[in-house]
């Protein structure tokens, strides 16, 4: 026998592991500068590392209090009800829960092009169909309600990425509200704020307090430096707890992930240092890259280098791993994660050399 027809599905292309690339180049993994996956270049919160160690001895037991504690801590931070927080295995896991809870077979969703690949993947896993709206380079990737509504045709879910990956632009809160107002009552606007900590724009979470057609996605993978733990969450409209109870995979986030998340949330110094370091790195790239860049509100910068694949390959040969954005439909660009000063300076030097 065979699995069902998966021909409309596309495998997720994760940035390759640093060990694998080092082996291919005949280099030590420590020599590589990896700025391709928007990870936290400063590492995880030291408090989270302690929490992981301390929790290791009790992983024979199913998670219990940590899940509830983290849910309560996040609800408190965002001033929402506990049952509005849907913890998951990464932000990606939270996207799956939303798709499971919202989509009936054949329902349609609307995603941005270029955009984050997992929205469409998740929708298709849940037997949904995917339509696209453009975010145009010619408009410097500006995001407006009208730009989405021009392509909106009653889809069940509309995904907005703010800050956007890979462009770095945002949809202002007023535009999100306008979009939610203009779409049908039965359309959920999902605002993906995976990079929200790096931005100064107010979060769309406030809309989840006042209306029932907006959800916000957040993750511990970026600013909190816990990408390897897989921990993220959605903040959903009030009174959807019954849906979460019905669709979540039991123990949606692991004990280790929840303990690390609780510790990282408390470590304000770590997040502040990360955010400051990211701002400096972005400025350094705008000022020193010998090619056009776009101002970014995320922990990365999109740069127009001409032939992205060539520059990506040339940088790789020098041990600097950046993201070729061909798979986003931007073959003339690369995306460079904000690194420590040493990493960022090295990346800029190598990219300028390749231009
Ligand atoms: C990184 C990212 C996520 C979430 O990633 P997880 O590691 O699954 O939490 C979601 N959306 C965008 C746009 C991202 O870049």
pLDDT, residue 7, reads 85
pLDDT at 168: 98
Is residue 239 left, alpha or beta, with left meaning phi > 0 and alpha meaning psi from -120 to 50? left
φ, ψ (nearest 5 deg) of residue 112: -85, 150
Tell me the CA–centroid distance for residue 92 and ligand 1, in Å: 6
Residue of 12, 38, 39, 116 to mutate, ligand 1, most atoms within 8 A of C-beta: 116
Regarding beta strands 157-161 and 188-192, do their DSSP bridges make them parallel or antiparallel, or are they unpaired? parallel
pLDDT along the chain (355 residues), means of 10: 86 72 86 95 98 95 90 97 97 98 97 96 96 97 98 98 98 98 98 97 96 98 97 96 90 95 98 98 98 98 98 96 95 98 98 96
Best of 219, 226, 335 for a ligand 1 pocket test (most atoms within 8 Å of beta carbon): 219
Q: Is the CB of 175 under 6 A from ligand 1?
A: no
**What is the C-alpha to C-alpha distance for residues 135 and 116, in angstroms, rounded to an integer?**
12
C-alpha distances in angstroms, 339 versus 294, 343, 346? Answer: 17, 5, 10
Give the 3-state secondary structure of residue 238.
Answer: coil
pLDDT of residue 281: 98
Q: Which pLDDT does position 58 carry in this prediction?
A: 92
* Cα 309 from Cα 332, distance rounded (Å): 8
* Residue 80, CB-side half-sphere exposure with 13 Å CA sphere: 29
pTM over 0.85: yes
**Which residues, other chains included, contact 279 with Cβ-Cβ below 8 Å and sequence gap of 6+?**
198
3-class SS at 85? strand
Closest atom, ligand 1, to C-alpha of 161? 13
- Residue nearest to ligand 1 atom 4, measured at CA: 91
Any atom of ligand 1 within 6 Å of the Cβ of 193 = no
How many Å separate Cα 224 from the centre of its chain? 12
Show the tokens assigned to 300: 């990365």
SS3 content of the chain, % helix, strand, coil (to 5): 45, 15, 40
* 101 contacts: CB under 8 Å, gap ≥ 6: 240, 243, 244, 246, 247
Phi, psi of 235 (to 5 degrees): -110, 115
CA of 48 to the centre of ligand 1 (A): 19
Helix, coil or strand: residue 82:
helix
Question: What was the pLDDT predicted at 11?
Answer: 78
Distance CA 166, CA 323 (A): 10
Ligand 1 contact via 91 beta carbon (within 6 Å): yes
Checking phi first, is residue 40 left (phi over 0); if not, alpha (psi -120 to 50) or beta? Answer: beta
CATH topology of domain 46-265: 3.40.640
What CA–CA distances, in Å, run from 75 to 87, 97, 329? 11, 18, 37
For the chain, domain boundaries: 18-44+268-354, 46-265
pLDDT at residue number 14: 66
Contact 194, 218 (CB under 8 A): yes
Tell me the three state secondary structure of residue 267: coil
Which of 217, 221, 226 should be mutated for ligand 1, with most atoms under 8 A from CB? 221
* Count helices and strands in the chain by DSSP H and E runs: 13, 12
Q: Which two tokens stand for residue 17?
A: 């592991």
Beta bridge partners of 300: 337
At residue 34, the pLDDT reads: 95
pLDDT of residue 15: 61
Residue ranges in 111-159 assigned as alpha helix (H) = 118-125, 145-149
Q: Whose CA is nearest to atom 14 of ligand 1?
A: 194
CA 95–ligand 1 middle distance (angstroms): 10
Q: Measured from the CB, is residue 300 less than 6 Å from ligand 1?
A: no
For ligand 1, the distance from its centroid to the CA atom of residue 272, given in whole angstroms, is 20
- 28 exposure class (CB count in 10 Å sphere: 0-12, 13-18, 19+): exposed
CATH 3.90.1150.10 fits 18-44+268-354, yes or no: yes
Cβ neighbours around 237 below 10 Å, total: 18
Q: Residue 116: CB within 6 Å of ligand 1?
A: yes
């Amino acid at each position: 026998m065979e699995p069902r027809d998966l021909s409309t599905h596309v495998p997720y292309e994760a940035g390759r592991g640093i060990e694998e690339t080092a082996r291919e180049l005949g280099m030590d993994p420590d020599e590589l500068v990896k700025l391709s996956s928007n990870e936290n270049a400063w590492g995880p919160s030291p408090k989270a590392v302690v929490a992981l160690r301390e929790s290791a001895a009790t992983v024979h037991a199913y998670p219990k209090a940590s899940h509830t504690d983290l849910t309560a801590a996040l609800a408190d931070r965002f001033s929402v009800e506990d049952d509005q927080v849907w913890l998951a295995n990464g932000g990606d896991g939270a996207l799956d829960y939303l798709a499971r809870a919202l989509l009936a077979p054949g329902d349609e969703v609307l995603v941005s092009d270029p955009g984050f690949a997992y929205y469409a993947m998740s929708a298709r896993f849940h037997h949904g169909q995917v339509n696209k709206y453009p975010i145009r380079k010619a408009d410097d990737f500006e995001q407006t309600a009208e730009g989405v509504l021009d392509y909106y045709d009653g889809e069940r879910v509309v995904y907005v990425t703010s800050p956007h990956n890979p462009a770095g632009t945002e949809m202002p809160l007023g535009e999100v509200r306008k979009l939610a107002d203009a779409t049908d009552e039965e359309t959920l606007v999902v605002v993906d704020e995976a990079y929200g900590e790096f931005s100064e724009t107010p979060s769309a979470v406030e809309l989840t307090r006042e209306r029932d057609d907006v959800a916000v996605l957040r993750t511990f993978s970026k600013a909190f430096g816990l990408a390897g733990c897989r921990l993220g969450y959605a903040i959903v409209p009030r009174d959807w707890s019954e849906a979460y109870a019905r669709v979540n995979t039991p123990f949606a986030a692991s004990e280790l992930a929840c303990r690390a998340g609780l510790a990282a949330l408390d470590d304000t110094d770590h997040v502040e240092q990360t955010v400051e370091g990211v701002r400096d790195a972005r400025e350094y790239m705008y000022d020193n890259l010998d090619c056009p860049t776009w101002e970014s509100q995320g922990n990365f910068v999109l740069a127009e280098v001409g032939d992205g694949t060539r520059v990506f390959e040339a940088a790789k040969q020098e041990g600097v791993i950046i993201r070729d954005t061909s798979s986003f439909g931007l073959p003339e660009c690369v995306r460079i994660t904000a690194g420590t000063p040493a990493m960022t300076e090295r990346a800029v030097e190598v990219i300028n050399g390749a231009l």
